[in-house]
Structure 1
Amino acid sequence: MIRLLIAFVAALLAVQPAAAQRVKDLGAFQGIRSNQLTGYGVVVGLPGTGDDNLEYTVQSMKGVASRFGFQLPPGVSPGLKNAAVVMITADLPPFAKPGQKLDVTVSSMGKAKSLRGGTLIMTPLMGADGQIYAMAQGNLAVSGLGAEGADGSSVVVNIPSSGRIPEGATVERTVETGFDTAPVLTFNLARSDFTTAQRVQDVINQRFGPGRARAIDGVSVAVSAPPGADVRAEMMSEIENLPVEAAEAPARVIVNARTGTVVINSAVRVSPAAITHGKLTVRIEEAPRVSQPAPFSQGQTTTEQRSAIGVDEEKRPMFLFEPGPKLADVVKAVNAIGASPADLVAILEALKEAGALKAELIVL
């Protein structure tokens, strides 16, 4: 079944021509990206599944109480089975404005068994620069659950120590992207390729005039743009939707040695090579026989060892790869010799060592 699927995909790749893609599918403009936010907070209202008097949980609860002007007496530690200290993470999308909502993920830091039923107390979310960009608060939605019996047996479904709060954070600060004031707009490809960068440059110059864009390297294309947020937004929208034919990917063979998965892209070529693939099986069968002497013969009962050794070698003819076959030809040839995924890995490695495989072999 797997070999048939590989052959089907290979046939599709062999007959379908390269289709044009939108520029936006190949990369993104520099500076227009999401930013990661993190926070440290406390979840309360748990049904006895909290951290249970961990020292940093006590300190966190004292800090929460101090926000409201309440100070716990010295030496008094609150019972905390109903509370848990957590880390909050969220992604701040580009151009997010104050008042917009974000989804947040809440994960336990301590010994809390479950956050189900908990409520996150208002927590600031900070960026890498230490500034507060959002405030998080709300009731957790936890998909996991856990249960324990009196004899110590337990069962856990999914991950009850982590949950989400849909629209649980409110944006308080905007991240400046600088796209409206930067001297040039820089478009960065997701994968470095000089040919693709050159083609992106060409389609932009064809649409907006010669000299408007220039490829800086294999990733970046600098675009001269007039000042003004509205003008640049319109121009960037047009650039993102320009059709461009991306360059063919480098020839690669990806091998996952743990699962036996092999992926061969359409650029792989094989030089003339002859391959033989067979299997040698050695069988050793033991059939001991008991020798029983006749009555009153003064003989002793003994065990006679009888072994049968056989060697089977599967005969398979040598197979010839014709000059310059494509992916479909490689798959067809491998199927013809009946190679399993594990055998295919060995064949590809041998072809690479022989210099016949014109591709980068990557083993995961």
Structure 2
Amino acid sequence: MTRLLLALSLICACASAALATPIRIKDLVEFDGVRGNDLVGYGLVVGLNGTGDGIRNAPFTEEIMVNILERLGVNVTGEQFRPQNVAAVIVTAVLPPFARQGSQIDVTVSAIGDADSLLGGTLVMTPLTAADGDIYAVSQGAVIAGGASVEGDAASVVQGVPTAGVIPNGARIEREIEFEFASLAEVRLALHSPDFTTAARIEAAINHEFGRGVAAMLDAGTVLLDIGATRAPSPAHALTRVENILVQPETRARVVVDQRSGTIVMGEDVRISRVAVAQGNLTLRIEERPVAVQPNPFAEGETVILPRTGAAIEEDAGTGLAEIRGGTSLSEVVAGLNALGVSPREMIDILSSIDAAGALHAEFIVR
């Protein structure tokens, strides 16, 4: 109990320390147009050791296999296929910004049929398309699966996810995305977490760096940078100076709880008004004690089982009604909650009740 509550205090203290540290602008914003693009493809993995799709349960695997063989000049019309060493897969990748033709990117391969494992498989040449339907990359190579599967006559063991894997540098870019970054006259900086105070600080920090008004806050999530006013040779040179400027971000007060693991994380600005809290538990106990009744010796009859049930409700004494003073700092809020002497899971219920009572001055997020 003490260790868990101490861990909660340390997590909160670390969060406070992290929020007090200036952050680079490049870690707070996304530059307009400088982003990746999702790619997807449908392909076939071959060379599996009997762990592929069952053709009867995955007819699409047979269809793509026939198409590939016919493209290679093999006539398989009317043939019956029953291999177990192939699997239909979905291939996904992200085309990074400014990627050039001929460079390579990583891809993820995931089975879509009833294949047991992709271990040892090889992805056959698969085109990858973007949202516009055009092919931007082609993927092929040996699949590195992230799990293992062992099966016997009466039992099987699976560790990890053997039906998904990656191919490092498994796709080669064949088409570039047309984007004339060097011709931009203005660049918008989009904040990851929109906040008026943070946007104003970014505007002030950029203008201070250049010594004149080159940035203007448009709203809580956007700051506009005038490339011409920076007097930089190109937008790339201007953003090189901008992205390394340090800014103190401002965030909303938040309490994030994970009910599955019992984790509680509080932000630096969390405050709790003065409240009184009582916490207790009810325990319901039911015990079955059947009794066997037998007939007298030498008498006719048969044994009868009579039901006997014992039921009781117990209520823990708990800590009574405890007062939590108004928190003026994160450490005082944590100290007040720790004084209740409850487990983190019980503390989640207490925080939820305090929030419902209107005494928790923070955004309460449950995952």
Whether these two folds match at TM > 0.5 is: yes
Q: Which secondary structure does the structure 2 equivalent of 1:144 belong to?
A: strand
One-letter amino acid matched to 1:246: P
1:285, distance to aligned residue in structure 2 (A): 11
Give the structure-2-normalised TM-score: 0.83
**Residue 116 of structure 2: which of 86, 95, 113 is its match?**
113
The aligned residue for residue 299 of structure 1 is: none
Matches within 5 A, 1:59-98: 59-73=63-77, 75-98=78-101
1:116, distance to aligned residue in structure 2 (A): 2.1
Q: Relative to 1, partners in 2 of residues 1:334 and 1:41: Cα closer, same or farther, differing over 3 Å?
A: same
- Report Cα offsets for 1:296-319 as digits up to 9, x if no partner: xxxxxxxxx9x9999776374644
- Report Cα offsets for 1:275-295 as digits up to 9, x if no partner: 3445677999999xxxxxxxx
CA distance in 1, matches of 2:327, 2:106: 52
**Residue 218 of structure 1: which of 194, 205, 220 is its match?**
220
Unaligned segments of structure 2, at least 5 residues:
290-307
Coordinate RMSD, CA, aligned: 3.2
One-letter amino acid matched to 1:175: I
**% identical equivalent positions:** 41
Unaligned segments of structure 1, at least 5 residues:
288-304
1:263, distance to aligned residue in structure 2 (A): 2.0
Q: Relative to 1, partners in 2 of residues 1:154 and 1:225: Cα closer, same or farther, differing over 3 Å?
A: same
- Report Cα offsets for 1:182-216 as digits up to 9, x if no partner: 34101111001011011111111122243311111
Q: Does residue 107 of structure 2 align to residue 104 of structure 1? A: yes
1:165, distance to aligned residue in structure 2 (A): 1.6
| Equivalent pair of 1:252/1:359 in contact (CA under 8 Å) | yes
Q: Which secondary structure does the structure 2 equivalent of 1:6 belong to?
A: helix
CA distance in 1, matches of 2:257, 2:90: 37
Matches within 5 A, 1:1-364: 1-11=3-13, 18-53=20-55, 54-73=58-77, 75-149=78-152, 151-226=153-228, 231-247=234-250, 249-277=251-279, 314=317, 316=319, 318-364=321-367
Q: Relative to 1, partners in 2 of residues 1:205 and 1:80: Cα closer, same or farther, differing over 3 Å?
A: same
CA distance in 1, matches of 2:314, 2:130: 68
Q: Relative to 1, partners in 2 of residues 1:204 and 1:147: Cα closer, same or farther, differing over 3 Å?
A: same
Q: Which secondary structure does the structure 1 equivalent of 2:92 belong to?
A: strand
Q: Which secondary structure does the structure 2 equivalent of 1:160 belong to?
A: strand
CA distance in 2, matches of 1:162, 1:29: 32
Between stretches 175-184 and 231-240, larger displacement belongs to 175-184
| Equivalent pair of 1:135/1:172 in contact (CA under 8 Å) | yes
Q: Relative to 1, partners in 2 of residues 1:255 and 1:139: Cα closer, same or farther, differing over 3 Å?
A: closer
1:60, distance to aligned residue in structure 2 (A): 0.9
Rg larger in 1 or in 2?
1
Provide the aligned length of Structure 1 versus Structure 2: 345
Between stretches 213-222 and 17-26, larger displacement belongs to 17-26
The aligned residue for residue 300 of structure 2 is: none
Q: Relative to 1, partners in 2 of residues 1:157 and 1:230: Cα closer, same or farther, differing over 3 Å?
A: farther
Between stretches 174-183 and 215-224, larger displacement belongs to 174-183
Q: Which secondary structure does the structure 1 equivalent of 2:161 belong to?
A: coil
Give the structure-1-normalised TM-score: 0.83
Between stretches 46-55 and 324-333, larger displacement belongs to 46-55
